[in-house]
Amino acid sequence: MNTLRLIFADQLSESVSSLEGCNHADDIILMCEVREEATHVKHHQKKIAFLFSAMRHFAQSLSGQGYRVIYVRLDDPDNTGSFRGEVKRCAAKYNPAQIVLTHPGEYRVLQEVRTWSSVLGIPVEIRPDQRFLCTPEAFAHWAGRRKQLRMEYFYREMRQQYDILMADGAPVGGKWNYDADNRKPPKTGLQIPANSTFPPDEITTEVMQLVSQHFSSHFGRLEPFCFAVTRKQALTVLEQFIQQRLVCFGDYQDAMLEGEPWMFHSHLSFYLNVGLLLPLECVKAAEDAYTQGKAPLNAVEGFIRQIIGWREYVRGIYWLNMPEYASLNYFEASRDLPDFYWHGDTKMNCLRQCIQETSNNAYAHHIQRLMVLGNFALLTGIDPKQVNEWFLAVYADAFEWVELPNVSGMILFADGGYLASKPYAAGGSYIHKMSDYCKNCRYQVTRKSGPDACPFHYLYWDFLARNRDKLSTNPRLGMMYSTYHRMNDDKKAAIREESALFLLSLEHHRD
């Protein structure tokens, strides 16, 4: 009895559950590059090249180990362009008794897969994705009937469950969270290590040609391409992060500098999300660095919290709340995404820098996504669907399970506070404190009103004023509302008028 085993682009781990019990002689492993996946949102060119190259390298490695791999290239003349078409074609040729796959990372794909047993008349087994540390069922149990969830409590349970940074049942160092020691502004003369780069090999070069032939109208620069595309290379990125960047990861986690897209971040999300790295091995490597005295606790705890905390937490929220989560819109935001998100041509230097870096690298670090690109979308009331589409398309680490909760929950507060206790809204002073963007901006961050005033300033207050019915009872915003209420009427009117003018200029593409 032979089995057709399907592996998606984000399942490139030899330990993936769909390979368990594979009979090398009879079973067929199917991997396919399909147009529908590259275009349902127009993914960044570099992202498509990364995924196709990593898929081809993974397929080659499986073949080398004796697996029977059917790899369908995008330009195969018989390629039907969709998962369903390719599974159907393969099933017709090899007549499998069953289809086995690991739970997909996107609800949309899961819904599609669920139709296959009836459409194809072949049993389909969907196995759990064991590469995550918290199953959707365990998360649902933890979440219970709570109306609001808090990552911090979830994270503490994960630390205990996996015995990470624990000593005699208590958190190492006496505290669960060392964020108070993090978030330093960038200082001048900061020595940032070069990021790990891997020149394209033959496979990647071929894929890049394919991408430029088929997807040149998509957002972003294809070259230079320097991502890791094999597990061995991804392990090198991990090792170099642990040796060179982890030590400053905590201190400068929130810092942004012009011309420094990579800072002290790990750049591991690409590899974690496609399965070239596994979360626990990254966490253990960081914990070992702490035990050996190579990195401080604030850095190590901060990094570990992102992986066993935030990463697992957002995934839990996604699977617990789909498909409803995708259409939440607490503030009823409806403004169109400004065009400059696609070309970076705006006078606001912070946005320009973050968009250009996103275009160059298919990467921006967390604070750029949250406090610049996301903050602007929140303050100006952009339609969550359009914001989600942008974030899903432009980042090489973006898959819906992780992108959607970060965008709708974390930045847009579209779930009304289910994921986060307050919106991450901020004015220009925050960006000024944490970056050097303001010095090269046409606007002046210290100006609060007038044509040179930083738009983030009045947009912030206008956002609070517009949404006071929904936010003013939030205890974490009490101080800001008190400040707003103390403003005199002229000041409030000026904020309202300048914001209205700015928002109008967005519609007319004159930001």
Q: Which residues bind ligand SF4 (CB under 6 A)?
A: 348-350, 428, 431-432, 437-438, 441, 443, 445, 454-456
Q: How far is the CB of 346 from ligand FAD (least distance, A)?
A: 18
411 binds ligand FAD (CB under 6 A): yes
Ramachandran region of residue 257, left (φ > 0), alpha (ψ -120 to 50) or beta? beta
Least distance between ligand SF4 and beta carbon 279 (Å): 34
CB of 223 to ligand FAD, least distance (A): 21
Give the helix ranges, DSSP H, for 80-135. Answer: 83-94, 107-113, 116-120
Residues in the chain: 511
391 touches 358 (CB < 8 A):
no
Residues 295-334 that bind ligand FAD (CB under 6 A): 303, 306-307, 310-311, 314
Torsional sign, CA 475, 479, 483, 485: positive
Binding to ligand DLZ by residue 86, rule CB under 6 A? no
From the list ligand SF4, ligand FAD, ligand DLZ, none, which binds 438 (C-beta under 5 to 8 Å, kind-based)? ligand SF4
Complex with ligand SF4: residue 419 or 431, whichever CB lies closer: 431
* Beta carbons of 7 and 31 less than 8 angstroms apart: yes
Q: Which of ligand DLZ, ligand SF4, ligand FAD, none interacts with 443 (beta carbon under 5 to 8 A by kind)? A: ligand SF4
Residue 310, contacted partner among ligand FAD, ligand DLZ, ligand SF4, none, CB below 5-8 A by kind: ligand FAD
**Residues 372 to 391: which contact ligand FAD by CB under 6 A?**
374, 391
Spatial CA neighbour of 425 closest among 383, 464, 466, 384: 464
Q: In sequence order, what are the residues at sequence separation of 6 or more whose Cβ sits closer than 8 angstroms to the Cβ of residue 489?
A: none
Q: Which stretch, 100-108, 250-258, 287-295, 481-489, contacts ligand DLZ (CB under 6 A)?
A: 100-108
* Residue carrying structure tokens 């127009």: 42
CA atoms within 13 A on the CB side of 368: 27
Q: Write out the binding residues for ligand DLZ, residues 398-457 only, by CB under 6 A.
A: 399
DSSP sequence for 430-493: HHHHHBSGGGG-SSBTT--SSTTB-HHHHHHHHHHHHTHHHHTT-GGGHHHHHHHHHS-HHHHH
Q: Which residues contact 385 (CB under 8 A, 6 or more apart)?
A: 327
How far from chain centre, in Å, is Cα 116?
29
Candidates 48, 101, 133, 285; binder of ligand DLZ (CB under 6 A) is 48
Residue 9 near ligand DLZ by CB under 6 A = yes
Report which secondary-structure segment, H or E, holds 69: strand 68-72
Nearer to ligand SF4, 144 or 259 (CB): 259
Q: Which is nearer to ligand DLZ, 32 or 355 (CB)?
A: 32
DSSP 408-428: IIIIT-TTSSSS-SS-----H
- Residue 5 touches which of ligand FAD, ligand DLZ, ligand SF4, none (CB < 5 to 8 A by kind)? none
Sheet holding 124-127, edge to edge: 68-72, 28-32, 3-6, 98-102, 124-127
Residue 454 in contact with residue 430, Cβ under 8 Å?
no
The site for ligand DLZ, by CB under 6 A, has a size of 16
Question: Which of 69, 229, 289, 370 is the binder for ligand FAD (CB under 6 A)?
Answer: 370
**Residue nearer to ligand DLZ on the CB measure, 214 or 492:** 214
Q: Looking at 102-110, 217-225, 404-412, 471-479, which segment touches ligand DLZ (CB under 6 A)?
A: 102-110
494 interface partner picked from ligand DLZ, ligand SF4, ligand FAD, none, CB below 5 to 8 A per type:
none
Say how far apart CA 279 and CA 271 lie, in whole Å: 10
- The residue from 51, 333, 382, 434 that contacts ligand DLZ (CB under 6 A) is 51
| Residue 366 is a binding residue for ligand FAD (CB under 6 A) | yes
- Placement of tokens 């994270």 in the chain: 155
**176 lines the binding site for ligand FAD (CB under 6 A):** no
- Which is closer to ligand DLZ, CB of 392 or CB of 445? 392
Range in contact with ligand DLZ (rule: CB under 6 A) among 98-106, 144-152, 287-295, 302-310? 98-106
d(CA 81, CA 86): 7
| Positions 17 through 36 that interact with ligand DLZ (CB under 6 A) | 32-34
Least Cβ distance, residue 447 to ligand SF4 (angstroms): 8
Among 207, 402, 414, 431, which residue sits at the site for ligand FAD (rule: CB under 6 A)?
Answer: 402
Among 290, 214, 210, smallest CA distance to 250 is for 290
Q: Which helix (H) or strand (E) holds 166?
A: strand 166-167
Under a CB-based contact definition with an 8 Å cutoff, are residues 269 and 279 in contact?
no
Sign of the Cα torsion 186, 351, 298, 433 reads positive
Which residues are near ligand DLZ by CB under 6 A? 8-10, 32-34, 37-38, 43, 48, 51, 104-106, 109, 399
Q: Which residues bind to ligand FAD, rule: CB under 6 A? A: 265-269, 272-273, 303, 306-307, 310-311, 314, 365-366, 369-370, 374, 391, 395, 397-398, 402-403, 406-407, 410-411
